Structure 1
Amino acid sequence: MVTPSDDVSVAQWLVNRLFPFENYLAGSVVPPGYEAYARILHPAQSTSGYVSWAEIAAWAGRIYHPAMQFESIATPVQGSGADPKPWDGQVPYHLPLSHVDTLAHILRPFTTTPEKIWYLVWDGYGSVPSTSRPHVQRPHRNYLLYYGGTDDVGDLGIGEHREPPEYWFPNEKSWCVATDVDLYWTYVGGSQACIDAILINSELESVPAELSHGLTVDSDTLNRLSPDEKKQ
């Protein structure tokens, strides 16, 4: 279980580094300054389990690449998509908790402070108890601050809230995990060795990321959708 903290100054470095929110770039979500970055793709689901973005792109005849957008790769090109969709419903805005635990296990050796991890939780969840505590603030998003160990990330113990945090980083900031309530993926910034450990993990579907990668469907220039396709 994590512990609340009012010392929001410990997260100011993150807010100061981020690109402006309205740029809609990876650097608007994950802080610049790290040697390398990974983008962990949240899996879609079917009745038989998780479905990777690679499977969906193959079904739709789309190009699988680091800057792809889910809406683009899930829209079949002409001549593709005749078989039933391999997934059901919407891709979640958070990693499954089992994947979060896997990520924490990968990241643990890359910090000297595994028992002092800072967690930022968006204050807009109905499952997060209301509070007058100080918030970590940035345009369009406010977060409550907590701290605990790497083992706490899969179950923060905040009331009825069961989603993983939007941001988490160790006390010495050797890496940073970042996502947003409107994204289908999670970023990680860290050393090259840290990011390589994520990219080779077989449970997490991940691709290399660049701070200049876009967040919107129009940023996927290899899988452009027509105006009619965007309406589907």
Structure 2
Amino acid sequence: MAMVFTHVVRILHPAYLDNRPVRWEEVGARTGNVVRATSTWYEVCGSARPNYVVEGVFDCPPEQGSLPSVLQQPVYERLTSVSEGLLWNGYNDPQTRRLTDSAPSIYVDTDEYRVIEKTDEAEGGSSLDVTPNYWWPSDHSWCAATGIDSFDTLIATSDARLAAEIVAIPGIEAFILHDP
């Protein structure tokens, strides 16, 4: 993405304790691990076990493969004019099926994705259970990506102001990975 866009922002998906978002920084402080722009969740929490928890710090790991609902509104407010996206075809919930039933499919490596239009369905205060894995506006001024197994979302843009706005969203944990 950095070859096309000059700025890449990495948003870390929060863990949760009693349904309250927990920053990776809080987890790292408890486990003795420093959070860096390129840290993995497993490095920060200290274990690669899928359902690992740290008592009193987090009881649910970060959401994988989708921008968490707690982050959707503040991020979508800045990523306007979302027009198209790719959604992994492996999700099997009713909301996702409604979005993808008649959508054409493409393959990226070995994974099948559905091409969907108008991905900002989170209007009116509701949020999507699963967000597209890739999404962008019609003018292609930015692109966002959340890998199927990723605990983070990447946003690439050539707009320095947009990158700075995303990193400055209150309550969000984000880093600029690429900034000329």
TM-score under structure 2 normalisation?
0.80
Give the ranges of 4+ consecutive aligned residues of structure 1 lying more than 6 Å apart after TM superposition. none
| Alpha-carbon distance in structure 1 between the residues aligned to 2:44 and 2:133 | 25
Counterpart position of 1:168: 135
Query: Aligned-pair distance for 1:207?
Result: 1.1
Percent identity among equivalent residues? 21
Counterpart position of 1:105: 77
Which structure shows the bigger proportion of residues in strand conformation? 2
Counterpart position of 2:177: 209
CA contact (8 A) 2:119 2:132 kept: no
Structure 2 spans left out of the alignment, 5+ residues: 48-53
The total of aligned residue pairs comes to 165
Change (3 A) 1:96 1:54: same
Counterpart position of 2:154: 187
Change (3 A) 1:122 1:86: same
* Correspondence for 1:49 among 20, 25, 28: 20
| Alpha-carbon distance in structure 2 between the residues aligned to 1:48 and 1:124 | 26
TM-align CA RMSD:
2.7
Counterpart position of 2:114: 144
Q: Kindly indicate whether residue 67 of structure 2 is the aligned counterpart of residue 95 of structure 1.
A: yes
Q: Secondary structure at the match of 1:176?
A: strand
> Residues 26-82 of structure 1: CA distance to partner in whole angstroms, max 9, x if unpaired?
xxxx57411101110000000161100010111111122101011111119xxxxxx
Larger Rg: 1
Query: Aligned-pair distance for 1:167?
Result: 1.1
> Residues 12-38 of structure 1: CA distance to partner in whole angstroms, max 9, x if unpaired?
xxxxxxxxxxxxxxxxxx574111011
Counterpart position of 1:70: 41
